[in-house]
């Protein structure tokens, strides 16, 4: 008998059409299932229906059986066998101390002191969080918070853990760490995992099954390779699959579909590569006008703390998109804040269009020179609908380079991640700045929204705007940057065109580049791939 | 009679028998300063009784979290405003919480904002009195919620008078504590010296209530509809 | 011996609050002086309190009370001088002085007490009796740093939007209100995620237990017992009137009957206990350190 059995499940929110349409799904004990699909496809709704306490209000048809029992009829103790981890690292943390956060679930289920002590010791050691056991939850990183959330649920001895985009707010390193912890739970302790994710690159190697969902319907479900092969023809689902699968699909694909970088490389080795290398596009040597210049900038937050920026030297030229990549805590965001005039370095010069930033008056600086969009765009919104929000900033829907008018009457917090990011960009662009600073503009977005943001940025660039984006997202940088820079310990280590930048990087690069780098130079994105494959090979 | 039966009888007897007993007998022990003792004990026990009421009343999870959020923002507001004498948003936020979430929530937000902000601003003998005063303001605002709801002006007026009552309570306590009797002259003196402070406090309460009422009611209204808080 | 910080918050609270409350509800000058002395010694000897500013406030409080009291109170038999036909009496002056000393003593005690009672200890103590309130307190303590961080970000964004101006008071109020409005949205919307996270972990189902991170050991029992015994003696002696004192109409010596002396000495011991505990802890570590000195770790040297 399957652990979770979903039969003919349909669901609709009050006054809306069906979000979930007639879904049939069964998950076996010990499965590791990844759920993916566009934003708004009903992933979150489906996952929440699997956890009785979080079931959304609305009309449900069909049945969900957990261990043979209707899910709505589970007792509190039985329901604790289903764990649920949400997306937001910040807000799903309930208490102020790590130990209390881990104990919280057990307290709710009335565990005894002795049992709690034992479980806490176990999970802290298991997840390697004993070092932060007595820390405040406000002082640990997002990745650690997510691990603590997982530990808190693992302490309840769950049979299945459901995770709703748990890594979307994390940087790639912490995301991988988190996924590894999940894998450990799954393979060592037999916990069933159901996870929804936007990017399968790192999840697929851990999975036993994948499930594609779109428009509230299941497109494909089953063992990884089989299902992935089914989806290769689906242009809407293809971008979610790993780079190797996309490459395989472009090549017309024979034999089993490769799903990891290693498999992709083996695949290329076996099949003669129909790629050809074009001569590099010539460098335009034309003198460019600098828009933002950092000259040996040093910054620290406190007199006694360490330098965060250690001699940062970087120039963003007028009318380009500069992407700055780098690890967490390397000082990227600090650099952006310095460029926005929000922080003042203690040494070095920052010039905007050749003029020292200190010589700008605030009204001048923020009234048409520079704009800054922080990581979480929600802190820009305060009105009840997007329309009021736009009116408040004095923007007409017609004036923005993308369409948002369809969402005019939606509350800003109800917008999808991509829409919210667009709206935020529109808001910060209201002052018609010449420089736009973006912090992690693609955080938590699905591939389509990422591409949309990319298009928007390119359009803005065409209008003569200089864009500096700080990001962890190599795929995004490869797709939209004119130049990419690597930030390390408070300084820029290298700046290059994305093509050179990513093809010379070995580890910090796109998966397509990792797969193709031995065979062809400068292929870093899907577009490059499409361009570089001989037409006759494509039809093969 | 079972143990739990004894326990329940005991817990019902506490408010009517035991507390007055403790208050009265204590007055004989601390006879030098019996009045100070009595007001202190009364404030503390009222606080405990209200807290027991809050403990026993079933509060939905979302409501509880909202209360905590109000407490957090009130405490931050109080600490931020501390350089300005007499200005803080605690009363206004307590009143708003009480009006929209009920009088238990009002009590909890008022009393615990005082406790939480004192964790940063410093604990002292005044802590229970502040908790008592703000808790009371919240409780009454909750009882009057039908009248106050939807009217910014009424909320401002209530907050204004709440500010005056707050100062009056604090002054009564100060005077009784210092003289162990109600020295009218000293009380008037205390009120007069605190008058500018009280005035600023009452007016700033009204201003805060006026400014915060609209965003609070709109945003809470949405949550109430969308998630059924 | 362990330091006060590692005692159970309940036993520490019982001890400190007994000292403070007894001194607050007594007019007996000896009790007031003992409490003040104990507080001063504790404050100066503990490693937690470094600030010297408190002594200035203490001086101001004592001076202020001494000067102000005779202005409002004209009781007492010994006029020193007359202002506006009102007598300034020696009794009122001394009464003010002792009131000041009492408040000042409480200030020292509370300063050390606040230093020991960190937020999680307060939550623990409240939770012992009011679990729901304590949970709410924990949530609030969790939210505070998040909101502070977010407000800072919101201010930064409003600045770059050109909507955070501090040029005039009207702009300032408007700007602050905008940030407030942003924060209210942020806070209210996100409470839903938090409450979902609580529900997902079984909150609201029924009886809860409480993980106790502070244990109540023999030392705590001893501290509580000693406090209870001394407190009991004090209450008994006080109830029989041995400790009664009045500054008006004229000052006299406080009572020195055997019972009163017992109460004084008991109370003084109570006032010194926290200092003794701290000193004992310091001594223990000094002894241990000399034992753990390099010459006593021969294993590494032999190899």
Across residues A373-390, what is the average pLDDT? 90
Give the count of domains, chain B: 2
| Residue A76 touches partner B, C-beta closer than 8 Å | no
User: Using CA atoms, how far apart are residues A362 and C171, in angstroms rounded to an integer?
Assistant: 14
% pLDDT > 90, chain A: 58
Q: Are B124 and B118 in contact (CB under 8 A)?
A: yes
Residue A120 lies in a domain: yes
B207 and B152 housed in the same domain:
yes
Could you tell me if B15 and B109 lie in one domain?
no
pLDDT at position A416 over 60: yes
Beta bridge partners of B221: none
Are residues B68 and B135 both part of a single domain?
A: yes
Q: Which chains touch C (3 or more CB pairs under 8 A)?
A: A, B
Q: Is residue A282 part of a domain?
A: no
Chain A CB within 8 Å of residue B215 CB: yes
Yes or no: say if A316 and A468 are a contact pair by the CB < 8 Å rule: yes
Radius of gyration of chain C (CA): 27
- Give the pairing type, strands A192-196 and A32-36: parallel
CA B153, CA A267: separation in Å to the nearest integer? 74
Name which of A53, A107, A412 is nearest C210 (Cβ-Cβ): A107
- The pLDDT, as a whole number, for residue A405 is 87
Identify the DSSP state of B33.
G
Task: Residue A370: name the closest of A338, A397, A348, A395 by CA.
Answer: A338
Q: Is residue B61 less than 8 Å (CB to CB) from chain A?
A: no
Residues 202-261 of A with CB under 8 A from C: none
| A149 and A12 housed in the same domain | yes
Which of B64, B138, B179, B185 to mutate against chain C (most C CBs within 10 Å)?
Answer: B64
Same domain for B38 and B96, yes or no, is no
The domain of A79 spans: 4-236
* Residues A353, A266 within the same domain: no
Q: Coil, helix or strand for A200?
A: coil
Whether A209 is covered by a domain: the verdict is yes
Q: Same domain, yes or no, for A91 and A162?
A: yes
Cβ–Cβ of B30/C26 closer than 8 Å? yes
Cα nearest neighbour of C102 on chain B = B178
What sign for the dihedral angle of Cα B124, B125, B126, B128? positive
d(CA A67, CA A86): 23
Question: Tell me, what's the pLDDT at A282?
Answer: 53
Shared domain check, B78 and B149: yes
Among A108, A384, A409, pick the best mutation site for testing chain B contact (most B Cβ within 10 A).
Answer: A384
Contacts of C204 in chain A (CB under 8 A): 108
Contacts of A420 in chain C (CB under 8 A): none
**DSSP letter, residue A162:** E
Tell me, yes or no, whether A119 and A200 share the same domain: yes
Question: What residues pair up with A25 in beta bridges, in sequence order?
Answer: A6
CATH number at residue A317: 3.40.50.300
Closest-CA residue to C114 (of C49, C188, C175): C49
How far is C-alpha A501 from the geometric centre of its chain's CA atoms? Answer: 22
**pLDDT at res. B3:** 63
Q: Is residue A284 part of a domain?
A: no
Q: Which of B73, B119, B227 sits opposite C122 (nearest CB)?
A: B119
A382 in contact with B at a CB cutoff of 8 Å?
yes
pLDDT of A273 > 80? The answer is: no
Nearest to C142 among A137, A152, A371 (CB): A137
Instruction: Answer whether B222 sits within 8 Å of A57, measured CB to CB.
Output: no
In the predicted model, what is the mean pLDDT of chain A? Answer: 89
Instruction: Give a yes or no: residue A277 inside a domain.
Output: no
Residues A97 and C124 sit within 8 Å (Cβ to Cβ): no
| Residue-by-residue DSSP string for A21-83 | EEEEEEE-TT-EEEEE--TTSSHHHHHHHTSGGGPPSSEEEEEEEETTEEGGG--HHHHTTEE
CB contact under 8 A, C140 and B69: yes
Q: Which of C200, C202, C213 sits opposite A109 (nearest CB)?
A: C202
Does A140 or A519 have the greater pLDDT score?
A140
Using CA atoms, how far residue C12 sits from A220, A227, C16, C283, in Å, is 63, 63, 6, 20
Predicted model pTM: 0.91
CA torsion through residues A106, A112, A117, A122, sign: negative
pLDDT bucket at A286, cuts 50 / 70 / 90: low
If one compares B28 and A409, the residue with the highest pLDDT of the two is A409
Q: Is the pLDDT of residue B70 over 90?
A: yes
Q: Nearest chain C Cα to A363, which residue?
A: C162
Hey, is C162 helix, strand or coil? Answer: coil
Q: Which residue has the higher pLDDT, B141 or A271?
A: B141
- Do B80 and B175 reside in the same domain of the chain? yes
Residue C64 has pLDDT above 50, yes or no: yes
> Do A48 and A171 fall into the same domain?
yes
Task: Collect all residues with Cβ–Cβ distance below 8 Å to C9 and sequence separation of at least 6.
Answer: C116, C117, C121, C122, C124, C125, C214
Q: Are residues A32 and A151 in the same domain?
A: yes
Give chain C's mean pLDDT. 89
Q: How far is C289 from chain A (nearest CA, A)?
A: 25
For residue A281, the model assigns a pLDDT of: 56
Asked if A395 and A429 sit in the same domain, the reply is yes
Residue that terminates a domain, selected from B21, B36, B56: B56
Contact B61 C144 (CB under 8 A): no
Q: Across residues A73-94, what is the average pLDDT?
A: 92
- Domain-embedded: residue A199: yes
For residue A383, pLDDT over 80 is answered with yes
* Residue A60 belongs to some domain of the structure: yes
CATH of the domain at B177: 1.10.1760.20
Mean pLDDT of B126-152: 91
- Mean pLDDT score, B187-214: 90
Q: Is B224 on the interface with A (CB under 8 A)?
A: no
* B111 and B203 both lie in a single domain: yes
Asked whether residue A523 carries a pLDDT value surpassing 90, the answer given is: no
Q: Is A295 a domain residue?
A: yes
Q: How many domains does chain A have?
A: 3
> How close C105 gets to chain B, by Cα (Å)?
12
Q: Give residue A534's pLDDT band: very low, low, confident or very high (50, 70, 90).
A: low
Count the neighbouring beta carbons within 10 Å of the beta carbon of residue B103.
22
Is the pLDDT confidence value at C185 over 70? yes
For C114-138, what is the mean pLDDT?
92
Cβ contact, residue pair A384, B215, below 8 Å: no
Q: Tell me what percent of the residues of chain A surpass a pLDDT of 70.
A: 95
What phi and psi, each to the nearest 5 degrees, are found at residue C56?
-65, -45
Would you tell me how many other CB atoms lie within 10 Å of the CB of residue A362? 15
User: Would you say residue A540 has pLDDT above 50?
Assistant: no
Asked if A260 and A190 sit in the same domain, the reply is: no
Pair B29, B82 in one domain: no
**Residue B124 and residue B35 in one domain:** no
Which distant-in-sequence residues (6+ apart) come within 8 Å of A343 by Cβ?
A: A299, A334, A337
Q: Give the pLDDT confidence score for residue A18 in this predicted structure.
A: 87
**Contact with chain B for residue A411, Cβ under 8 A:** yes
Contacts of C279 (CB under 8 A, 6+ apart): C45
Do B34 and B72 lie in a common domain?
Answer: no
C-interface mutation test, from A71, A108, A341, most C Cβ less than 10 A away: A108
- Closest chain A CA to residue C181: A382
Of C142, C144, C192, the CB nearest to B62: C192
Q: Is residue B149 located within the same domain as residue B117? A: yes
Is pLDDT at A137 greater than 50 in this prediction? yes
Question: Confidence band (pLDDT; 50, 70, 90) for A268?
Answer: confident
> Looking at chain B, which residue has its C-alpha nearest residue C68?
B186
Predicted confidence at residue C293, as pLDDT, reads 64
The residue segments making up the domain with residue B88 are 58-227
Provide the pLDDT for residue C302: 42
> What mean pLDDT comes out for the span A159-176?
92
Q: Name the band, by pLDDT with cuts 50, 70 and 90, for residue A518.
A: confident
Task: Tell me how far CA of residue A4 lies from CA of A47, A60, A160, A224, in angstroms.
Answer: 12, 17, 9, 19
- The band of C300, judged by pLDDT with boundaries at 50, 70 and 90, is very low
CA–CA min distance C28, chain B (Å): 8
Residues A157 and A33 in one domain: yes
Tens-digit pLDDT profile for residues A468-493: 999 999 999 999 999 999 999 889 98
Chains with 3 or more CB pairs under 8 A to chain A: B, C
Q: Based on the domain organization, do B184 and B168 belong to the same domain?
A: yes
pLDDT of residue A538: 47
Co-location of A350 and A401 in the same domain = yes
B225 touches chain A (CB under 8 A): no
Of A279-283, B140-144, C4-8, the poorest mean pLDDT is in A279-283
Q: What is the pLDDT of residue C295?
A: 54
Q: Does B184 touch chain C (CB under 8 A)?
A: no
Give the model confidence (pLDDT) of A7-31 as tens digits. 999 999 888 888 899 999 999 999 9
**Window from A366-375, B151-160, C166-175 with minimum mean pLDDT:** C166-175
SS3 C70: helix
Contact A57 B215 (CB under 8 A): no
Residues A324 and A216 in one domain: no
Sign of CA dihedral A92, A96, A100, A106: negative
Could B36 and C25 be called an inter-chain contact, meaning their C-beta atoms sit closer than 8 Å?
yes
Closest CA to B73 of C174, A92, C182: C182
Answer yes or no: do A443 and A333 share one domain.
yes
Ranges of beta strands (E only) in C10-123 are 79-83, 86-89
Output A404 or A156, whichever has higher pLDDT: A156
């Amino acid at each position: 008998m399957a652990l979770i059995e979903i039969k003919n499940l349909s669901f609709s929110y009050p006054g809306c059409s069906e979000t979930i349409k007639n879904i049939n799904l069964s998950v076996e004990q010990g499965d590791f299932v990844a759920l993916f699909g566009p934003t708004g496809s009903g992933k979150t709704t489906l996952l929440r229906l699997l956890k009785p306490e979080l079931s959304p209000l609305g009309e449900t048809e069909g049945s969900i059986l957990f261990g043979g029992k209707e899910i709505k009829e589970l007792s509190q103790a039985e329901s604790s066998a289903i764990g649920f981890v949400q997306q937001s690292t910040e807000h799903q943390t309930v208490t102020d101390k790590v130990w209390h956060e881990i104990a919280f679930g057990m307290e709710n289920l009335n565990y005894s002191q002795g049992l709690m002590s034992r479980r806490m010791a176990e999970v802290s050691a298991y997840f390697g969080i004993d070092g932060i056991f007595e820390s405040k939850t406000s002082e640990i990183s997002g990745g650690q918070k997510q691990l603590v959330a997982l530990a808190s649920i693992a302490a309840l001895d769950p049979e299945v853990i459901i995770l709703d985009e748990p890594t979307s707010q994390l940087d790639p390193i912490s995301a991988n760490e988190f996924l590894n912890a999940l894998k450990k739970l799954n393979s060592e302790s037999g916990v069933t995992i159901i996870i929804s994710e936007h990017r399968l690159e790192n999840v697929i190697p851990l999975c036993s099954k994948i499930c594609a969902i779109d428009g509230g319907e299941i497109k494909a479900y089953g063992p990884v390779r089989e299902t992935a092969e089914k989806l290769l023809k689906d242009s809407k689902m293809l971008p979610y699959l790993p780079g190797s699968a996309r490459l395989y699909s472009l090549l017309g694909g024979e034999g089993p579909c490769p799903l990891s970088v290693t498999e992709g490389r083996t695949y290329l080795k076996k099949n003669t590569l129909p790629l050809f290398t074009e001569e590099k596009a010539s460098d335009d040597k034309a003198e460019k006008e600098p828009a933002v210049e950092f000259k040996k900038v040093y910054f620290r937050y406190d007199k006694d703390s360490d330098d965060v920026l250690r001699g940062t030297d970087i120039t963003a030229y007028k009318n380009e998109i500069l992407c700055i990549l780098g690890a967490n805590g390397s000082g990227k965001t600090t650099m952006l804040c310095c460029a926005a005039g929000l922080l003042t370095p203690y040494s070095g010069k920052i010039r905007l269009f050749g003029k020292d930033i200190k010589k700008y008056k605030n009204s001048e600086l923020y009234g048409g020179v520079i704009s800054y969009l922080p990581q979480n765009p929600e802190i820009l919104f305060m009105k009840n609908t997007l329309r009021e929000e736009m009116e408040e900033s004095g923007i007409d829907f017609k004036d923005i380079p993308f369409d948002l008018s369809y969402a005019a009457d939606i509350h800003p917090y109800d917008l999808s991640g991509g829409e919210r990011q667009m709206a935020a960009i529109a808001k910060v662009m209201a002052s018609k700045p010449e420089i736009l600073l973006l912090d992690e503009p693609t955080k938590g977005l699905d591939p389509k929204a990422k591409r949309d943001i990319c298009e928007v940025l390119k359009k803005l660039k065409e209008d003569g705007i200089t864009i500096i984006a700080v990001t962890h997202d190599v795929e995004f940088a490869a797709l939209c940057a004119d130049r990419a820079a690597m930030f390390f310990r408070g300084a820029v280590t290298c700046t290059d065109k994305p093509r050179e930048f990513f093809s010379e990087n070995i580890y910090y690069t796109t998966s397509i580049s990792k797969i193709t780098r031995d065979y062809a130079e400068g292929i870093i994105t899907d577009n490059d791939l499409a361009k570089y494959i001989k037409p006759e090979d494509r039809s093969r | 009679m079972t143990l739990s039966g004894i326990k329940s009888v005991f817990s019902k007897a506490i408010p009517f028998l035991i507390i007055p007993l403790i208050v009265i007998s204590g007055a004989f022990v601390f006879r030098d300063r019996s009045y100070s003792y009595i007001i202190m004990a009364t404030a503390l026990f009222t606080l405990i009784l209200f807290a027991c009421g809050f403990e026993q009343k079933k509060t939905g999870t979302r409501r509880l979290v909202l209360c905590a959020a109000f407490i957090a923002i009130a405490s931050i507001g109080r600490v931020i405003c501390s350089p300005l004498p007499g200005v803080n948003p605690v009363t206004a936020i307590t009143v708003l919480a009480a009006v929209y979430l009920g009088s238990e929530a009002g009590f909890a937000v008022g009393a615990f904002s005082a406790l939480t902000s004192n964790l940063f601003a410093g604990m002292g003998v005044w802590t229970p009195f502040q908790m008592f005063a703000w808790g009371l303001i919240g409780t009454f605002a909750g009882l009057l919620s039908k009248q106050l709801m939807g009217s910014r002006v009424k909320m401002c007026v209530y907050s204004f008078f709440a500010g005056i009552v707050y100062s009056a309570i604090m002054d009564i306590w100060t005077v009784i504590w210092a003289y162990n009797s109600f020295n009218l002259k000293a009380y008037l003196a205390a009120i007069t010296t605190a008058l500018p402070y009280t005035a600023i406090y009452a007016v700033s309460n009204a201003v805060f209530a006026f400014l915060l009422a609209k965003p609070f009611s709109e945003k809470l209204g949405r949550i109430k509809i969308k998630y059924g808080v | 011996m362990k330091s006060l910080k590692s005692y159970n918050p309940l036993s520490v609270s019982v001890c400190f609050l007994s000292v403070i409350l007894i001194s607050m509800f007594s007019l007996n000058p000896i009790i007031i002086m003992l409490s003040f002395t104990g507080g001063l010694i504790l404050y100066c000897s503990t490693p937690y309190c470094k600030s010297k500013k408190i002594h200035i406030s203490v001086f101001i409080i004592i001076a202020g009370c001494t000067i102000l009291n005779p202005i409002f109170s004209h009781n007492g038999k010994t006029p020193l001088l007359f202002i506006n036909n009102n007598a300034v009496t020696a009794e009122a002056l001394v009464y003010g002085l002792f009131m000041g000393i009492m408040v000042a003593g409480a200030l020292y005690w509370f300063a050390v007490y606040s230093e020991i009672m960190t937020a999680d200890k307060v939550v623990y103590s409240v939770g012992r009796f009011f679990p729901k309130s304590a949970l709410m307190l924990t949530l609030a303590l969790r939210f505070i740093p998040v909101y502070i961080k977010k407000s800072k970000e919101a201010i930064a964004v409003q600045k770059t939007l050109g909507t955070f101006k501090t040029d005039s008071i009207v702009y300032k109020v408007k700007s602050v209100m905008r940030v407030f409005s942003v924060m209210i949205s942020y806070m209210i919307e996100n409470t839903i995620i938090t409450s979902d996270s609580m529900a997902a972990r079984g909150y609201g189902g029924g009886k809860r237990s409480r993980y106790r991170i502070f244990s109540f050991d023999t030392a705590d029992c001893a501290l509580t017992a000693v406090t209870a015994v001394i407190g009991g003696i004090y209450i008994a002696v006080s109830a029989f009137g041995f400790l009664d004192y009045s500054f008006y109409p004229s000052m006299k010596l406080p009572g020195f009957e055997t019972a009163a002396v017992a109460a004084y000495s008991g109370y003084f011991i109570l006032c010194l206990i926290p200092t003794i505990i701290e000193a004992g802890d310091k001594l223990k570590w000094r002894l241990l350190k000399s034992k753990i000195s390099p010459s006593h770790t021969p294993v590494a040297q032999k190899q």
